[in-house]
Amino acid sequence: MRPYVIIYVTSSVDGKIASRSGYSKFSCEHDLKRLHSVRASVDAVLVGANTVVRDDPLLTVRYVNGRNPLRVVLDGRLKISENAKVVNDRSSNTLIFTSKDAPREKINALLNKGVEVILLEGKYGELNLNRVLTELVLRGVGKLLVEGGGETIWGFVKSRLFDELRLTISPYIVGGRDATSIVGGEGFGTDSEFVKLFLKSLTVCECGNELHIIYGRV
């Protein structure tokens, strides 16, 4: 048993969610409202450590009315800053998954700030997503939003641990082999490994210049 998992990303036309310099603000105001509406509808929102380090997001609901979901960070090496917004902001609870080899002093510092830290077995820096989802179910999470980044999304895609991909295509070309793609990781090698999707809906954004696509997983 696991939560219903929605992946939501906004990308450039060429499939980048961040430029080589880390710039990732591609959404128009309507897309931000759409994303925050999804946040308000789920029990938890999840990102990887790189997203917290790079963007320092709040992961709260701001552009629409609604409750804040539980904030979940996957950080096997426990590298996020103790000054990160998700650590210090009190408008929502934060749960961090890390490995049992993570620095004890960093764990204690986060606990002292009121953050829940769960230690998982496995190689240093690697986290078992099935275990993560099981722990979330035990905490009452029935619907989970995954917002990135590319490496984290790859983990969910590779393991077939998602139900929907909601993709907004913004009118930019970013380019660059070092830019972040929607799905990172090592990738699949053959078509027999590919994850197939089916189209649920396709709409033109209210701004008139973006597309919002919802895919389900076959």
* List of residues 6+ apart from 77 with CB closer than 8 A: 49, 98, 99, 102, 124, 125
Strand order in the sheet with 143-148: 116-120, 94-99, 70-74, 44-48, 143-148, 4-11, 164-169, 211-217, 197-204
Statement: residue 123 has pLDDT above 90? no
Please report, rounded to a whole number, the percentage of residues in the chain having pLDDT higher than 90. 96
Instruction: Tokens 């990887």: give the residue.
Output: 48
Which pairing describes strands 16-18 and 44-48: parallel, antiparallel, or unpaired? unpaired
In this predicted structure, which of 92-96, 113-117, 119-123 has the lowest mean pLDDT?
119-123
pLDDT digits (tens, 9 = 90+) for 5-37: 999 999 999 999 999 999 999 999 999 999 999
Assign residue 161 the CATH number of its domain. 3.40.430.10
Provide the number of structural domains found in the chain.
1
Phi, psi of 186 (to 5 degrees): -80, -20
Contact yes or no for 17/10 (Cβ under 8 A) = yes
Contact yes or no for 135/118 (Cβ under 8 A) = yes
Statement: residue 81 has pLDDT above 80? yes
What mean pLDDT is reported for the chain?
96
d(CA 176, CA 83): 31
Average pLDDT of the residues in 160-172: 98
Asked whether the whole model's pTM tops 0.85, one would answer yes
**DSSP H or E run through 151:** helix 150-158
Show the tokens assigned to 18.
Answer: 């961040």
Q: How confident is the model at residue 131 (pLDDT cuts 50, 70, 90)?
A: very high
Average pLDDT of the residues in 134-143: 97
Containing structural domain, residue 180: 4-217
Statement: residue 124 has pLDDT above 90? no
Average pLDDT of the residues in 186-190: 95
Q: What pLDDT, on a 0 to 100 scale, did the predictor assign at position 161?
A: 98
Contact yes or no for 51/149 (Cβ under 8 A) = yes
Whole-number Cα distances in Å, 98 to 102, 109, 122: 7, 14, 10
Q: How confident is the model at residue 111 (pLDDT cuts 50, 70, 90)?
A: very high
Q: What is the DSSP letter of 64?
A: S
Q: How confident is the model at residue 213 (pLDDT cuts 50, 70, 90)?
A: very high
